């Protein structure tokens, strides 16, 4: 039988990135935190943390964190069903989501649900091709991901397609694409990409223009809002989600530089297979908004 005080100590150490900060959150001494981790490691017979800066969980540690997060979710549901309100133990739902979804349809889908149930939302933002790793590691109870294949112990539900348009300002197009968009002009025109994790731009240029990685110039701006602002400021061209691009196209602030050449990215909701009403309610809310906001073939 695992000691859940020890598991909580492990969770807080990883969340806070160190023993000293965890001690402050838990209101105990740093040595007491270390002792709890040591006892837990002795109980399972394996190291659970990598004492780096910040502290990281080992593979076994991540498995225990996933188990602890699931137990927390089920216990919060049990308290709710028993009508046992404890303001010191609010229901915290951790979800991993990609930046483009967060900037457009995601929060409107969940805001009413979280207000009605008085849950607390903790979002982890990452590229949509990486968010499922956060679910796998136990850092989130659900995620918006491009991975269709459900992880072990999880379910995968199709939400819809996000469509990306290659756009730039009229002034930028006049400067870099006065005649046409070609491999040569794309090598000279600066692009705006989200981050090194984001392979969307690379896939787009490879598919439509047979370009190799590193053959174009790029700005890296890891913020969905600032990414779009950089394109509007004329720093470069880029692939913008249809929910953000279409209103700007209508106003003439942006122009689609490659009409007919768009990139669709399917999105899925993956969540743990545990009987917790939170994940069921969240999926229903996401599905309703996704049906209105995303593309479905």
pLDDT tens for each residue of 81-95: 555 455 556 778 889
DSSP line for 128-183: TTTHHHHHHTTS-SEEEES--SPPTTEEEEEEEEEEEEEEE-HHHHHHH-SS---H
**Whole-number Å distance between alpha carbons of 290 and 296:** 9
> With a cut of 50, which residues of the chain have pLDDT below it?
84
pLDDT tens-digit map of 189-239: 999 998 877 889 999 999 999 999 889 999 999 888 899 999 999 999 999
For residues 193 and 258, the answer to whether their CB atoms sit within 8 Å is no
User: What does the pLDDT read at residue 109?
Assistant: 97
Domain boundaries of the chain, sorted by first residue: 90-296
In sequence order, the 6+-apart residues with CB closer than 8 A to the CB of 209 are 182, 183, 186
Q: How many CB atoms lie within 10 A of CB 218?
A: 16
The CATH-assigned architecture of domain 90-296 is 3-Layer(aba) Sandwich (3.40)
User: What does the pLDDT read at residue 54?
Assistant: 86
What Rg do the C-alpha atoms of the chain give, in angstroms? 22
């Amino acid at each position: 039988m695992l000691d859940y005080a020890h598991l909580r100590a492990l969770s807080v150490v990883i969340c806070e990135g160190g023993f000293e900060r965890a001690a402050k959150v838990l209101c105990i001494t740093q040595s007491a935190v270390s002792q709890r981790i040591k006892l837990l490691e002795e109980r399972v017979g394996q190291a659970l943390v990598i004492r780096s800066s910040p502290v990281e969980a080992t593979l076994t540690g991540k498995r225990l964190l996933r188990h602890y997060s699931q137990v927390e979710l089920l216990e919060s549901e049990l308290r709710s069903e028993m009508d046992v309100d404890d303001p010191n133990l609010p229901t915290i739902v951790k979800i991993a989501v990609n930046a483009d979804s967060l900037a457009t349809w995601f929060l409107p889908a969940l805001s009413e649900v979280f207000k009605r149930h008085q849950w607390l939302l903790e979002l982890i933002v990452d590229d949509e091709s990486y968010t499922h790793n956060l679910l796998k590691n136990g850092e989130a109870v659900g995620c918006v991901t491009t991975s269709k294949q459900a992880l072990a112990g999880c379910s995968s539900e199709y939400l819809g397609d996000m469509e990306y348009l290659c756009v730039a300002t009229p002034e930028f197009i006049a400067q870099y694409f006065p005649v046409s968009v070609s491999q040569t002009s794309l090598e000279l025109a600066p692009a705006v990409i989200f981050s090194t994790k984001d392979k969307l731009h690379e896939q787009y240029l490879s598919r439509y223009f047979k370009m190799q990685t590193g053959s174009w110039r790029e700005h890296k701006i890891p913020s969905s809002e600032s990414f779009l602002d950089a394109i509007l400021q004329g720093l470069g061209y880029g692939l913008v989600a249809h929910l953000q691009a279409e209103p700007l196209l209508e106003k003439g602030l942006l122009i689609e530089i490659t009409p007919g050449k768009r990139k669709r990215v399917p999105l899925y909701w993956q969540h743990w297979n545990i009987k917790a009403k939170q994940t069921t309610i969240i999926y229903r809310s996401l599905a309703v908004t996704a049906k209105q906001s995303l593309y479905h073939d």
